[in-house]
């Protein structure tokens, strides 16, 4: 039973995430390397900096997964990741890191491309405690000096969405505010003159060393120069240096970072957050949405998002795109990333997928080693069994799974090596504030040890899986992400 100090209209939503994960008290020792839970998958192998192997849990209480075995692989270089998908070493990349590479996947006979939205608001954060930026006219001038559509065209090849506030379209209180501050450099110059900066203004733009942030910096610097603002740029190593200088000490004027936590607009109600934004009217609306009548909560949050935009608290540049690229025939992929989870249970393969007629050679199981960077988590999964001539029992043949093998009759089940499934871990989007999770928190790391996928041997026989398997399962999502997360006031 939960006893609350006050009404909490966000409680059920928060409990549906990692905050609501129930931990078995008999399995609380060393959860960082021995995850325990009742999810659809269990961890069977972990090679630090290289891969994580998952196996469908026979004790899954919800929908039984169609894919029996999945491998997540680390890719430090997005170019190598793209090449792996083109060569067939991967089947799916759910978060394409290089939107400029989309043209290479234009053949519908080979690839399927899904475009959706995320929670990743890319924000030109303004330090509201800085003297110049505490003047709303200066903030308005900055917002009207930046052509956000032009910036997005350069940085993401036009992929993404303009939002105008800290709310993605998947939130119930979303309102399209992208036209609230239109590009108008003439009006921006006038506002600067009215604020007393007609002869110029110098601001520090301290950004993390991340591709989207550094690319945005070049565009922003050029645009602000046209209205008389000189930008002094400083690229800080991410995460350690940026977190110390900007996030912790607020020693900056402007910065660019992606916030990927769901419904993180409430962070603006915390005056000590690194934006140093203080607006009692905004804070009151958020409090009313949280503790007031439930039927008024959405309306209060909508009012708060409009107020935040009208006050020019910061410049909400764009929403990160959700670009999923899959080999033709792979089904059950989610289009939008509305939560921090990636649902693997719906993955399957259409009956007309040509790849279902053959099994890939064993060497395709292997994955290219990468640097030990946790934020490019990718996955590979084994292939479906070889489709036998005349086998028409299933209009839709799963990629793998014991249930599918039994229904189809005797024969080897899910031992072939598919060309891989690459699944991005939404909880650790590269360059987001979600990236700085400490590795020593419970449930953050996965168990050590190795586990290779079994492939068909040269003699044509099917080897059996290793007898030693981990009895534990991921506590929350397919990547075994943490189940610790405390409730609001949240952080991005």
The 10s digit of each residue's pLDDT in 379-402 is 333 333 333 333 333 333 233 322
Half-sphere exposure of 406 (CA within 13 A, CB side): 5
Q: What is residue 31's predicted lDDT score, i.e. its pLDDT? A: 75
Final residue in a domain of this structure, among 278, 295, 320: 320
Q: What is residue 229's predicted lDDT score, i.e. its pLDDT? A: 98
Alpha carbons 21 and 28: distance in angstroms, whole number: 13
Say if residue 422 is in the same domain as residue 377. Answer: yes
Cβ atoms within 10 Å of 328's Cβ, excluding its own: 15
Residue 225: inside a domain:
yes
Is pLDDT above 70 for 426?
no
Q: What is residue 355's predicted lDDT score, i.e. its pLDDT? A: 54
By the 8 A CB rule, do 427 and 477 touch?
yes
Who has greater pLDDT, 443 or 111?
111
If we measure between CA atoms, which residue out of 341, 357, 344, 340 comes closest to residue 418?
357
Residue 400: inside a domain:
yes
Alpha carbons 35 and 471: distance in angstroms, whole number: 10
pLDDT over 90, % of the chain: 52
Say if residue 352 is in the same domain as residue 266. Answer: no
Q: State the average pLDDT for the chain.
A: 76
Q: Which residues of 10-30 are buried (b: 16+ CB within 10 A; e: fewer)?
A: bbeebeebbbebeeeeeeeee
Say if residue 48 is in the same domain as residue 105. Answer: yes
Say if residue 259 is in the same domain as residue 372. Answer: no
Half-sphere exposure of 83 (CA within 13 A, CB side): 8
Say if residue 266 is in the same domain as residue 339. Answer: no
Is pLDDT above 80 for 477?
no
Q: What is residue 43's predicted lDDT score, i.e. its pLDDT? A: 86
Is pLDDT above 50 for 151?
yes
Phi, psi dihedrals of residue 177, rounded to the nearest 5°: -115, 20
Say if residue 91 is in the same domain as residue 211. Answer: no
Q: What is residue 203's predicted lDDT score, i.e. its pLDDT? A: 98
Q: What is residue 353's predicted lDDT score, i.e. its pLDDT? A: 65
Say if residue 425 is in the same domain as residue 342. Answer: yes
Q: What is residue 374's predicted lDDT score, i.e. its pLDDT? A: 30
Phi, psi dihedrals of residue 72, rounded to the nearest 5°: -95, 130
Is pLDDT above 50 for 465?
no
Q: Minimum mean pLDDT among 119-128, 185-194, 411-420, 425-434: which range?
A: 411-420
Q: What is residue 407's predicted lDDT score, i.e. its pLDDT? A: 25
Q: Minimum mean pLDDT among 74-83, 224-233, 459-468: which range?
A: 459-468
Q: What is residue 316's predicted lDDT score, i.e. its pLDDT? A: 98
Residue 182, class by beta-carbon neighbours within 10 Å (0-12 exposed, 13-18 middle, 19+ buried)?
A: exposed
Final residue in a domain of this structure, among 320, 348, 378: 320
Residue 155, class by beta-carbon neighbours within 10 Å (0-12 exposed, 13-18 middle, 19+ buried)?
A: buried
If we measure between CA atoms, which residue out of 24, 78, 35, 80 comes closest to residue 57?
35
Q: Which helix (H) or strand (E) holds 190?
A: helix 185-194
Residue 487: inside a domain:
no
Q: What is residue 78's predicted lDDT score, i.e. its pLDDT? A: 86
Is pLDDT above 60 for 192?
yes
Alpha carbons 214 and 235: distance in angstroms, whole number: 8
CATH number at residue 342: 3.40.190.10
Q: What is residue 69's predicted lDDT score, i.e. its pLDDT? A: 87
Count of structural domains within the chain: 2
Q: Which two tokens stand for residue 485?
A: 């997360």
Say if residue 280 is in the same domain as residue 154. Answer: yes
Residue 305: inside a domain:
yes
Residue 84: inside a domain:
yes
Directed axis angle between helix 280-291 and helix 297-310, to 10°?
A: 160
Alpha carbons 492 and 484: distance in angstroms, whole number: 15
- What is the extent of the structural domain holding 161? 119-320
Residue 475: inside a domain:
no
Final residue in a domain of this structure, among 392, 416, 436: 436
The residue assigned the tokens 């008290």 is 25
Say if residue 251 is in the same domain as residue 192. Answer: yes
By the 8 A CB rule, do 333 and 339 touch?
no
Q: What is residue 95's predicted lDDT score, i.e. its pLDDT? A: 86
Query: pLDDT (tens digit, 9 = 90+) per residue, 267-321?
Result: 999 999 999 999 999 999 999 999 999 999 999 999 999 999 999 999 999 999 9
Average pLDDT over residues 428-436: 45
Residue 58: inside a domain:
yes
Residue 210: inside a domain:
yes
Q: Minimum mean pLDDT among 144-153, 180-189, 296-305, 369-378: which range?
A: 369-378
Say if residue 248 is in the same domain as residue 180. Answer: yes
Query: pLDDT (tens digit, 9 = 90+) per residue, 243-276?
Result: 999 999 999 999 999 999 999 999 999 999 999 9
CATH number at residue 236: 3.10.105.10
By the 8 A CB rule, do 186 and 318 touch?
no
Alpha carbons 351 and 395: distance in angstroms, whole number: 6
Say if residue 32 is in the same domain as residue 131. Answer: no
Those residues with Cβ within 8 angstroms of residue 418's Cβ, 6 or more apart along the chain or in another chain: 91, 355, 360, 364, 380, 381, 382, 383, 384, 399
Average pLDDT over residues 16-35: 77
Q: What is residue 317's predicted lDDT score, i.e. its pLDDT? A: 98
Is pLDDT above 90 for 348?
no
Average pLDDT over residues 31-51: 79
Say if residue 312 is in the same domain as residue 430. Answer: no
Bridge partners of residue 380, in order along the sequence = 71
Q: What is residue 404's predicted lDDT score, i.e. its pLDDT? A: 24
Is pLDDT above 50 for 413?
no
Q: Which residues of 104-134 are buried (b: 16+ CB within 10 A; e: fewer)?
A: ebeeeeebbeebbbbbbbbbbbbbbebebbe
Average pLDDT over residues 320-325: 94
């Amino acid at each position: 039973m939960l006893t609350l100090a006050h009404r909490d209209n966000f409680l059920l939503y928060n409990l549906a995430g990692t905050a609501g994960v129930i931990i078995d008290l008999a399995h609380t020792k060393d959860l960082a390397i021995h995850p325990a839970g009742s999810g659809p998958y269990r961890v069977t192998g972990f090679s630090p900096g290289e891969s994580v192997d998952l196996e469908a849990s026979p004790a899954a209480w919800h929908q039984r997964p169609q894919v029996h075995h999945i491998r997540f692989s680390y890719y430090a270089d997005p170019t190598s990741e793209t090449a792996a998908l083109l060569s067939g070493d991967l089947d799916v990349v759910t978060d394409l890191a290089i939107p400029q590479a989309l043209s290479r996947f234009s053949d519908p006979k080979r690839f399927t491309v899904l475009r959706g939205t995320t929670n990743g608001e890319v924000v030109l954060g303004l330090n509201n405690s800085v003297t110049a930026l505490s003047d709303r006219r200066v903030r308005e001038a900055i917002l009207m000096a930046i052509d956000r559509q032009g910036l997005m065209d350069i940085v993401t090849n036009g992929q993404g969405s303009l939002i105008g506030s800290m709310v993605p379209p998947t939130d119930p209180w979303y309102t399209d505010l992208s036209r609230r501050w239109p590009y108008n450099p003439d009006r921006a110059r006038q506002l600067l003159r009215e604020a007393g900066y007609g002869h110029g203004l110098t601001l520090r733009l301290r950004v993390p060393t991340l591709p989207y942030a550094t690319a945005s910096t070049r565009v922003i610097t050029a645009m602000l120069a046209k209205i008389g603002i000189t930008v002094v740029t400083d690229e800080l190593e991410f995460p350690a240096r940026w977190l110390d200088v900007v996030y912790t000490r607020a020693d900056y004027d402007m910065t660019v970072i992606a916030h990927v936590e769901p419904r993180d607009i409430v962070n603006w109600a915390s005056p000590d957050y690194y934006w140093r934004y203080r607006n009692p009217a905004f804070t009151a609306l958020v409090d009313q949405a949280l503790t007031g009548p439930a039927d008024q909560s959405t309306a209060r949050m909508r009012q708060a998002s409009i107020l935040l935009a009208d006050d020019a608290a910061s410049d909400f540049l764009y929403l990160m795109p959700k670009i999923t690229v899959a080999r033709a025939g792979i089904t059950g992929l989610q289009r939008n990333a509305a939560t921090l989870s990636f649902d693997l249970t719906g993955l399957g393969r259409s009956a007309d997928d040509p790849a279902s007629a053959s099994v890939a050679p064993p060497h395709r199981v292997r994955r290219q080693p990468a640097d030990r960077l946790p934020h490019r988590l990718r996955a590979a999964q084994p292939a479906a069994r070889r489709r036998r001539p005349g086998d028409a029992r299933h209009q839709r043949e799963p990629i793998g799974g014991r249930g599918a093998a039994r229904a189809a009759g005797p024969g080897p089940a899910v031992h072939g090596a598919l060309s891989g499934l690459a699944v991005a871990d939404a909880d650790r989007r590269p360059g987001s504030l979600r990236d700085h999770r400490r590795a020593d928190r419970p449930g953050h790391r996965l168990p050590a040890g190795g586990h290779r996928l079994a492939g068909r041997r040269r003699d044509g026989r099917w080897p059996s899986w290793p007898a030693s398997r981990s009895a534990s399962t991921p506590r929350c999502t397919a990547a075994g992400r943490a189940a610790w997360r405390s409730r609001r006031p949240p952080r991005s």
